[in-house]
Amino acid sequence: MLAHIVARCRLAWLTVLCSILSGCGGAPSPNESNTGRMVYVDTATMQPLVHDVVTSFPAVHPQTGKRTLRPALYCPTCKKWYPAPDVDQVNRVPGAGQCPKDKTALVADGPWPDGSEPSRKNGK
């Protein structure tokens, strides 16, 4: 009886583990694309970095463990990533969503700070 329950638990755990490791058998190739990743700016250092997509912001920095990551927007004029403004800021603050230096409209696409790009394979 008890052994049966333990066995079931173990099976459930394996199933969870399996889905964490992105599926049994059909694991997606890491070279395929950067799906599931995006560019962030660490507001502590203002350095851009590529990290897994998360659902809540600010996101936890993988190195410091602090919640300093904001989604990044790219300025094609100064070729830099800037932290994206809050959604309510975009509506209320004039100039939000623009480059703080040259007022260029920030865009979501740009060269990724780790050298990879969404449309190209990850070079690492």
Residues that bind Zn ion (CB under 5 A): 75, 77-78, 99, 101-102, 104
- Please name the helix (run of DSSP H) or strand (run of DSSP E) that holds residue 11, with its range, or none: helix 2-20
- Comparing CB distances to Zn ion, the nearer of 74 and 112 is 74
Least CB distance to Zn ion at residue 50 (A): 20
- Comparing CB distances to Zn ion, the nearer of 103 and 120 is 103
- Comparing CB distances to Zn ion, the nearer of 72 and 75 is 75
Q: Which residue is nearest to Zn ion (CB)?
A: 99
Least CB distance to Zn ion at residue 93 (A): 17
DSSP output for 45-105: TTEEEEEE--SSSSEEPTTT-SEEEEEEEEETTTTEEEEPPPHHHHHHSTTTTB-TTT-PB
Least CB distance to Zn ion at residue 100 (A): 7
Strand partners, 87: none
